[in-house]
Amino acid sequence: MNRRNRGSSSSGSGGGANDSYNRRRSDVARNRNNDKEEADDNNNKGADVSFIVGTCSSMCPERERVTRERLRDLSVFERLYGNPTKSSTDLAVKKFCRTLSAADVQASDVRPLPVLEETLSYLLSLLDSREHPFEVVHDFIFDRTRSIRQDLSIQNLANERVIHLYEEIVKFHVISRQRLQCCSGANISSMHHLNMEQLAKTLTTLYNIYDANRKPDYIHENEAEFRSLYVLLHLNTSSGVMGEPLSLWFCKLTSNLVKSKEMCFVRSLLRSYRNGNYKSFLRTTATEATYMQYCISEPHIREMRSLAVECINNVCYKLQPYPLLRLSQNLMMKEMDVESLCHECGLEIRTDSDGSIVLPTKQTNFCSPKEGFKNYDLVGIEIERLL
């Protein structure tokens, strides 16, 4: 069937080039078994699903929508006028299927690339919804983007348009990482863990597709920024976010990628972090980070500020309390936020004879703030650059 252009990159430019491309694309298919969980989580027979061409023209196959209406299995975003037993083609979005086998897959249940693009655009439009708590919005988009990845994997799609889809899904997980930290509830910790897990898997697949579409001395438009996220996720070696050590990972990058401004930024940040140079870390983040890089760096900003307070408390002269104004400048924080941070660290602050607020040093009750402590603004960051 010659449905809409699926961007399968089949030009007649010579057998050798096509053979090379096809080999790389086959590698992507094998490497994307984490999406074929997508067939990834099912420990089932994702590998048995042969590549097909989807023919479903709506965001959700009709037979799935009808079944879920009957079972009252509709998200709040899929209910027509709030009715839990009724949806429509404009609201229902295909769910992720954990147990997938060759016998279950029909072309009419799989969405082709143009429909997947429209579906993702619709899902991301819900991110700014104020009608429901963010964790509800996240849970819906989280499941439905996994389904998009599943449909892409089933069809073995790995072209430039697919790269854009994966980049947008990565952005969703990065934004969720930041916003979930501001949520409260019994399930937030689990949601955060699952979000980080899918962020890692989506990045891995995206990197494989970048490589499959590699041309000599060529970097994809946003590749350097998305590659830099891997480094930021590895700032803390104990995070266990993704498996390969940075030393090995850097060796696999092309020289053009290594020299890109995005990679130079994260390498500088990595040095500052490992050397405990909090001033350089904060200043570099404020002046150079993109929005996604800032979202990933936020927990480390808190960590470096806590380290700075600990160092000043331990090292400075006891008879000369440290001025809070100077500390706020060093940490790129508002003075009232520094006061709050010191309290979180178990430290007392005082007002000296001149009326200035100071931090008495050599206090013995310092403690690192527990995970989930308050976020503070980074004073001096160029907000316009992040938007």
The string of pLDDT tens digits covering residues 325-358 is 999 999 999 999 999 999 999 999 999 989 999 9
pLDDT > 70? residue 3: no
Looking up tokens 């920024």 gives 225
Between 7 and 128, the more confident residue is 128
Residue 46 pLDDT class (50, 70, 90 cuts): very low
Mean pLDDT of the residues in the chain: 86
pLDDT > 80? residue 6: no
Average of per-residue pLDDT across 262-270: 96
Q: What is the pLDDT of residue 194?
A: 95
Give the range among 35-49, 54-68, 280-294 with minimum mean pLDDT. 35-49
Nearest to 287 by CA among 382, 218, 355, 208: 382
pTM of the model: 0.85
Given a contact cutoff of 8 angstroms between Cβ atoms, the answer to whether 359 and 322 are in contact is yes
Q: What is the pLDDT of residue 11?
A: 38
Q: What angle do CA 175, 129, 374 make, to 5 degrees?
A: 45
pLDDT > 60? residue 127: yes
Residue 255 pLDDT class (50, 70, 90 cuts): very high
The CA–CA distances, whole Å, from 384 to 190, 221, 286, 349 equal 33, 21, 12, 34
pLDDT > 50? residue 17: no
H-only helix segments in the chain: 15-31, 62-70, 113-125, 134-154, 160-180, 188-212, 223-233, 246-251, 255-258, 261-275, 278-288, 291-315, 324-331, 335-344, 383-386
The sheet carrying 350-351 orders its strands as: 322-323, 357-359, 350-351
